[in-house]
Amino acid sequence: MNLLLPFLITLLLTGSITPLVIRLAIKYNLVDNPRTRYHPAHTHKGVIPRAGGLAIGIGFIIAVLLFVPITKITIGILIGCVILVIVGLFDDRRDVNPYVRLATNAIAALVVVFAGVGIPYITNPLGGVLHLDTLRVTFQFFGPHSIVVWSDVFAFLWIMWTMNIIGWSAGVDGQMPGFVSISALVLGLLALRFTVSDPSQQSVTILAFIVSGAFFGFLPWNFFPQRIMPGYGGKTLAGFLLAILGILSYGKVGTALLVLGIPTMDALYTLIRRIGTKRSPVLADRGHLHHRLLDLGWGKRKVALFYWALSAILGAIALTVTSAQKVFALLLVAVGVGGFLLWVAFFSQFSEPQDHDNG
């Protein structure tokens, strides 16, 4: 199969569905109005339709049904997507309690884990492999079933983590769809390497290209000035799908971590900052990296392009280095992001004039 076809079809599907969803969001008041719906992380002004997750989800699901073989894992992914999109629509209408959202994220993650998405091993950067598939619990439930304990636990935690860090890096017009599309493309190219030795990786490659196409098709409608926001559904859907791709592409979670290096480090520093100030780690604030860049006077387009460029650079690195080198690169990202945030905290008075699209 021509791998560009699933990408292009999904792109066209999502791109053509999005204006319909915009009208639907306005009709049913699935909108974000900073005057009546205060949120500390807001970077926009005026009334903006939400519900972008619905457009992305519909485009993705149709493309999967067209191009990906229907297996237990595929069904699990689709069910998880439907759960996240539905919860996202409720959140678009009226903000859902963050702990309720966390619980529904857990349900979606458990669905795909029980469908067979697990992390069988982790490559040790210092050499060797850490096997996570040694402890297995077998039981009967309308037939024999088994749980690979550590494999499933690590997969669940990885999916939950990725859903949250992507959501925290979606505050600027076009920021999230761009780097998600790039990240999915990188993971698809990674899976493509193994299609000769393992033909099943072709389905993973197609799935990755579909994810990339879905978010790329949404991007023109979300780029500055955005006409629709991804909403909570779009953000969690992005993290959910990227986490699964990181597992299915031969368990290359390290590659996914590096490609998502900036959101990952931003999330780590955010957690440290919130816990250090005795605040709940799930309650939003205006302290993320993109907020700091806006405070320095960067425009929204510049922030979005910055995230895209770094994702592409880290993706190229991830495809060409060893596991040990990935760890070293991730440490460099950690030091760079941490140093920048400290600089902003103490020397922000030296910031440059604001761009006209700063907001």
Q: What is the 3-state secondary structure (H, E, C) of 224-258?
A: CCCCCCCHHHHHHHHHHHHHHHHHHCCCCHHHHHH
Backbone angles phi, psi at 41, to 5 degrees: -95, 0
The shares of helix, strand and coil residues in the chain, as percent rounded to the nearest 5, are 65, 5, 30
pLDDT class for 331, splitting at 50, 70, 90?
Answer: confident
Is 209 within 8 Å of 11 (Cβ atoms)? no
Backbone angles phi, psi at 138, to 5 degrees: -110, 140
Rounded Cα–Cα distance for residues 156 and 71 (Å): 20
Task: Read off the pLDDT of residues 49-87 as tens digits, 9 standing for 90 and up.
Answer: 999 999 999 999 999 999 999 999 999 999 999 999 999
Task: Read off the pLDDT of residues 91-136 as tens digits, 9 standing for 90 and up.
Answer: 988 888 888 999 999 999 999 999 989 888 777 666 667 778 788 8
Is 241 within 8 Å of 210 (Cβ atoms)? no
The number of CA neighbours under 13 Å toward the Cβ of 74 is 18
Which residues neighbour 120 within 8 Å (Cβ) at sequence distance 6 or greater? Answer: 131, 132, 133, 148, 151, 251
pLDDT class for 181, splitting at 50, 70, 90?
Answer: very high
Sign of the CA dihedral running 95, 100, 102, 104: negative
CA nearest to 172, candidates 308, 51, 267? 308
Cis? peptide before 125, omega within 30° of 0:
no
Give the tokens for residue 131: 């096997």
Is 275 within 8 Å of 27 (Cβ atoms)? no
Task: Read off the pLDDT of residues 226-240 as tens digits, 9 standing for 90 and up.
Answer: 999 999 999 999 999
pLDDT class for 219, splitting at 50, 70, 90?
Answer: very high
What is the pTM for the complete model shown?
A: 0.89
Minimum mean pLDDT range among 52-56, 128-132, 207-211, 318-322: 128-132
| Cα–Cα distances in angstroms (integers) from residue 193 to residues 120, 186, 201, in the given order | 19, 11, 9
Rounded Cα–Cα distance for residues 80 and 85 (Å): 9
Is 268 within 8 Å of 288 (Cβ atoms)? no
Cα 215 to its chain centre, rounded Å, is 10
